Structure 1
């Protein structure tokens, strides 16, 4: 099985906790990579673009958002059962809208506020 890389925002407490949970469950075929300016550039993204949504990469194929969750969950015990349900087209469409229009913007706005406070 091809190695999966997951790019995530380690500064986001919610994102970090979720990825830490995934790390405990996953094997050696998943690398969890915290965002840095250099890493984001390696993925062809700015730091903000990388922090806006979850990204996963298998070989040269990058998936974002709900699609990234699905490819991660396919490799995790217990979550393997959830992956095909979320990947079912009607559910995936609704999940994607909720993720891209509500959840990701809320988490990214909180990230920007944390960064502004830190300055």
Structure 2
């Protein structure tokens, strides 16, 4: 398994960060510019990664103020899990975003850079959106 992780501190209570992340409609604001054709509900989002693939993701598990776990809603190009873990420290929230993906050696060479960029961009965007 390949693991891509990024952490950020958001100057808001965990309940507020969780409320934002627990709604897939809000995730569009975290995505990079190469995400197109976005459609979403509270639980599911479908989109295209420009010139790469189409994905459909759904929230599989919500644990109030601490966890949002997202899995593919349809068969993806590779098995993956996306996870937001939150912990509150002195009124601010530590948010860790992890993508775990089952990548072949070839896919790892192709996808590692873009997946790491994705987790870094999403955490950066989360911090700036909720600051």
TM-score above 0.5: no
TM-score range, shorter chain: 0.3 to 0.5
More strand by share: 2
Using structure 2 for the length normalisation, give the TM-score.
Answer: 0.36
More helix by share: 1
